[in-house]
Amino acid sequence: MIYKYEDRLKIRGGSRLNGEITVQTSKNACLPILSASIISNGVVRIDSCPDILDVQNMIEILTELGVSVRKSDNDYILDSRSLNLNHLDFNLCKTMRSSIFLLGAILTRCDSVMLTTPGGCNIGERPIDIHLKAFKKLGVTIRQMGEYIFLNAKNAHAGKVKLKLPSVGATENIVQFASTLKGKTTIYNAAREPEVVDLCNFLSKMGAKIIGAGTKKITIYGVDRLHGTEYTPIQDRIVAGTILCAVAITGGNVRLKYSNSIQIRKLIEILSRMGCQIDVKSDIIELTSDGNLHSIAKVETGYYPDFPTDLQSIMLTLCALVHGETEIVERVFESRFLIVPELVKMGANIEVLSNRRVKVVGVDSLSGACLQAKELRGGASLVLAGLRAKGETIIDNVHFIDRGYEQIESMFTSLGADIERI
């Protein structure tokens, strides 16, 4: 699908959601895996990539680098053996945060690289100093001039890297870089997110030697080269959580085809405590809600396996429509309450206590309004608010939502929602 910046969503609220739906492949797994494909000395096939804006932009960046890309349905066949690092579209790098993953991958193929500081959603400070300090620990020299970053890995060596925070991006960058770096590299305080594990599984399938993925300590034994492979990334736990919360908000019964329920167990626990009936069997999560839920005292985000920051906005919208009061605490990003003014327009009762803490008092209903999506997850949260609101809701800046959700209007229409792209 070709996404347009002027696209809007029109939602007529009040429909209950019912049916069965399969969760798309994970955006946050696909992007670093696509990046890591350039380390291979052969052809790589990545199956079932979601048709989203971030994937389209990553493919454009890889094409600019000289990667041969063929597309078959939602499968990508990539050949990086003729990589050309002399030209890179810096404007594309600015469009998404995930371009930072290219640092580790590119440095396995050449001694030096120049990139711009990456873009992405405006959800707070997201400094890349954690990435750069980690590279320095492995002998990479770095110069930064304004928005340009120059890295030289001529004297790079294996070693020990201790991250000050369990950064997903920094962990994935170092895992990629160290995969062909001679010797033993160990990452301490590594990120444990499922997407990190998936990247490590992909690299291992290409011949990398990685131990400890999914724990706080990951060890990589560098190999001479990686070979081609075929791989299907995991499903998207944030999209799964979005659908479950949408059903909780609107009421209804939905069977979710999703094989990794353990990855969203914190959300499932919270929804159960709020009054949803949830049945988990192998690769099916069935949720039933009458839309008449009650609050829990506090929701607090954190690094995996804690409650994910990417579902915080979704949970905020849900809490705005349950009986009682909830405190939401954001521990990862400091500017993730951008949707609050938009929800207040609809009649939500939310008090911002600080840039990391809000108090939400549930109301019986919201009213449709003209809203502005300001970032990816917040934009999806406004869609959920519109699904429950009385009347018509218009959401502008849908391109933010398109970065991570594959035709979100079709996803919800298939479950009975009255939503269309205009």
Q: Is residue 172 part of a domain?
A: yes
Q: How far is CA 292 from the centre of its chain?
A: 29
Q: Is residue 384 part of a domain?
A: yes
Q: Is residue 3 part of a domain?
A: no
In which domain, by residue range, is 126 found?
A: 27-231
CA dihedral (33, 217, 261, 13) positive or negative:
negative
What span, in angstroms and rounded, lies between the C-alpha atoms of 259 and 281?
9
227/266 same-domain check? no
186/281 same-domain check? no
Choose one of 165, 196, 231: the last residue of a domain. Answer: 231
Check if 319 is active-site: no
Q: Is residue 2 part of a domain?
A: no
13/146 same-domain check? no
60/98 same-domain check? yes
Residue 75 three-state SS: strand
166/284 same-domain check? no
Q: Is residue 189 part of a domain?
A: yes
Cβ atoms of 155 and 142 closer than 8 Å: no
Q: Is residue 1 part of a domain?
A: no
Choose one of 174, 200, 231: the last residue of a domain. Answer: 231
Q: Supply the Cα-derived Rg of the chain in whole angstroms.
A: 21
195/280 same-domain check? no
pLDDT value of position 122 = 44
pLDDT value of position 127 = 64
CATH code of residue 267: 3.65.10.10
Q: Is residue 37 part of a domain?
A: yes
pLDDT digit string (tens) for the chain, length 422 residues: 767 778 999 999 999 999 999 999 999 999 999 999 999 999 999 999 999 999 998 998 899 888 999 999 999 999 999 887 654 555 555 554 556 778 899 899 988 887 776 654 443 344 688 999 999 999 999 988 877 788 899 999 999 999 999 999 999 999 999 999 999 999 999 999 999 999 999 999 999 999 999 999 999 999 999 999 999 999 999 999 999 999 999 999 999 999 999 999 999 999 999 999 999 998 999 999 999 999 999 999 999 999 999 999 999 999 999 999 999 999 998 778 999 999 999 999 999 999 999 999 999 999 999 999 999 999 999 999 999 999 999 999 999 999 999 999 999 999 999 999 99
- For tokens 């052969």, name the residue: 42
What span, in angstroms and rounded, lies between the C-alpha atoms of 187 and 206?
20
Q: Which of 30, 93, 121, 319 is catalytic?
A: 121
User: Which residues in 99-121 are b (16+ Cβ under 10 Å) and which e?
Assistant: bbbbbbbbbbbeeebebbbbbbb
Choose one of 200, 231, 262: the last residue of a domain. Answer: 231
161/176 same-domain check? yes
Q: Max alpha carbon distance in the chain (Å)?
A: 63
240/371 same-domain check? yes
Cβ atoms of 376 and 121 closer than 8 Å: yes
What span, in angstroms and rounded, lies between the C-alpha atoms of 49 and 27?
8
280/208 same-domain check? no
In Å, what is the CA distance from 374 to each residue of 28, 41, 44, 339? 19, 40, 35, 8
pLDDT value of position 123 = 38
Q: Is residue 86 part of a domain?
A: yes
pLDDT value of position 120 = 46
What span, in angstroms and rounded, lies between the C-alpha atoms of 44 and 406?
23
388/305 same-domain check? yes
**104 conformational bin, left if phi > 0, alpha if psi -120 to 50, beta if neither:** alpha
Residue 379 three-state SS: helix
183/121 same-domain check? yes
273/155 same-domain check? no
What total number of domains does the chain contain? Answer: 2
